[in-house]
Amino acid sequence: MTTKRLIILAHCSLFLRQVLRLTPQDLLPTVQLMINKLAADYAGIELGIGESFIMKAIGESTGRSLAVIKADQHEIGDLGLVAAKSRSNQPTMFKPKPLTVRGVHEGLIAIAKIQGQGSQDKKISAIKKLLSAADAATAGKGGKGVDITKDKGGPSEAKFIVRFLEGKLRLGLAEKTVLVALAQAVVAHEAAVRGEKAPSPEKMAQGEAVLKTVYSELPAYEVIIPAMLEHGLFNLPKVCKLQPGIPIKPMLAKPTKSITEVLNRFEGKDFTCEYKYDGERAQIHYVAPDVIQNYPGATATLQKDSKGLSAIFSRNSEDLSKKYPDVLAKLETWVKDGVKSFVLDCETVAWDTVNKKVLPFQQLMTRKRKDVKAEDVKVKVCIFAFDLLFLNGEATVKKTLRERRELLHKSFEVAEGEFQFAQHGDTNDLEEIQNLLDESVKASCEGLMVKMLDTEESGYEPSKRSRNWLKVKKDYLAGVGDSLDLVVLGAYYGRGKRTSVYGAFLLAAYNTSTQTYETICNIGTGFSEALLEELHKELSPFTIDRPKPFYSHSTVPKDQPDVWFEPRLVWEVKTADLTLSPRYKAAANEFVGTTGGGKGVSLRFPRFIKSRDDKKPEQATTTRAVAEMYRKQEAVLKENAGKGGVDDDFEY
């Protein structure tokens, strides 16, 4: 009922303290339900249930026809509220057995694991079972005079079960907030158990820092929460460490728009310039056969064979092992003697075996994602390794980049076209950096990654977009300073040659605070006719009758797209510059009370670059990042106006 983060945090923390006090064994499923995840990303447990199945389950469990459910959905626009309304109007002869957190969590996992023949009917049956047991006693218009169809309150288990199935709880509760609330709750609970007074703000901050650090290296509540309950929060770093089998969230780079910006940032510091390869970020995990007993948890997530345990994970922790069996088959030939376990950060790039060069990212994306046989692989790949996060039982993330690079080169053997180290040059000379950038472009790379080498700041920072890694792309130098990864929300029918396909698309950025998609532009440039036909086929299954409640968009009739979609596809887009517009909503709240006047940020001359199949919609460019780009652009323009000229590095 509030949008204020600190109030949300306080409610969340107090609630988790009650769980710790009353039913600590339910803490893990409680946290997982709050963040709308059944398990860690690498476990690959997803519900994958469409709107039509949920509507069928709501109808069958409440005795209402599918036509009535569809009519309600068209009117209300939120299946969770449709379920709550359906449940509130349903008379019950017998009071159902109350649902529990543990019971709902186990029920949802069971639904996610249903496979094979007749799986759809079994899933609907399982959903009906949960909805039939959902307590409707306090829901509906009778509950404190609340109109449930307007989502202004009124507790309803059915509403949140359905929203969980859809993948959007819409609590305004980001995972980072839950993590902080969990830390605060545990610190306060542990103090109360010891009979101490309420912990100080400093103690709370210390607990938050410990949990954030542990989670960044070991992003698995399934491991962390039981360990925390057994050993205590402040002992977590001793018992929960980075290990093979649990992928960590990768460190990311800040975009820059000029080499001089890099030199200003790293002035007086040693840094290195690595080629930025145009491929798929990958994390390779390995444990040798003779040390498997040291990693009992790894057997659940890594593939086992006579060569040991191994797996490849994507940037969002998805298991890619079935996509790259050819890589895992050759893995041991690249590892030097004495290397028993490692976690490697690298880029998987499509490779031209004839001309011995890198191929475009689109070529890599043509590989099948599952059930790939090594002998059937047509698109060969080369691994370009650039960082080592774990080696022989020890996490290396706290070491300097120079130290990690030395260990990397000592531990692996180069095999041309199969396994290579990222090309790099250690220099702070402007001309040499420009030459490196030119050479990287000639080698079919996107540009350079510039990284701090020797200071404490050069450690690996999981899940952080750090200023100690900067990226300079070849096409950044004459524009905004970064491409954007945007979510496709809608489409407009084409004209002329494009009458049978979509001719333009409505794109959005993601607001992590409100968990909404805010529109940012229409795009119709950068598409070939063949690609438009392909996109029409790909997007058609995601068509929906009306925009989702968590879409922030213009309501002016002429601005509406012809078709709305589920938020599934992410595209990389380049733009000439950014402008404020009353039509689009991206970052509008960032400019309230300023010259923006409530306008959102829009892209001028947006151009499609490529699909980002390796990114989920929630990993799209954030509205906060969009606002930051706009402010940077305005600062540069003001500076140039003061100089009486235009910076060559920033054309518009």
Give catalytic residues, as residue numbers.
Answer: 276
- 119-120-123 Cα angle (round to 5): 85
- 403-406-411 Cα angle (round to 5): 125
| Amino acid identity, position 561 | P
| Per-residue DSSP letter, 599 | P
Phi/psi of residue 623, nearest 5 degrees: -65, -30
Chain-centre distance for alpha carbon 149: 31
Gap between the Cα atoms of 360 and 641, Å rounded? 39
Query: How do beta strands 543-544 and 563-565 pair?
Result: antiparallel
Are 59 and 69 in contact, with CB atoms under 8 Å apart?
yes
Sign of the CA dihedral with 442 first, then 445, 447, and 452 last: negative
Phi/psi of residue 199, nearest 5 degrees: -65, 150
Tell which residue, 166, 195, 179, 162, has the closest CA to residue 81: 162
SS3 160: helix
Gap between the Cα atoms of 515 and 551, Å rounded? 9
Tell which residue, 337, 346, 348, has the closest CA to residue 411: 337
Q: In this structure, what token pair is assigned to residue 149?
A: 């169809």
Tell which residue, 505, 631, 524, has the closest CA to residue 580: 631
Tell which residue, 77, 43, 82, 33, has the closest CA to residue 62: 82
Q: What is the CA radius of gyration of the chain?
A: 26
Please provide the DSSP assignment of 558-592 as one string.
GG--SEEE-S--EEEEE-SEEEEESS--TTGGGGT
Gap between the Cα atoms of 18 and 515, Å rounded? 26
Phi/psi of residue 287, nearest 5 degrees: -135, 125
Gap between the Cα atoms of 52 and 67, Å rounded? 11
Tell which residue, 503, 525, 484, has the closest CA to residue 630: 484
Gap between the Cα atoms of 63 and 572, Å rounded? 45
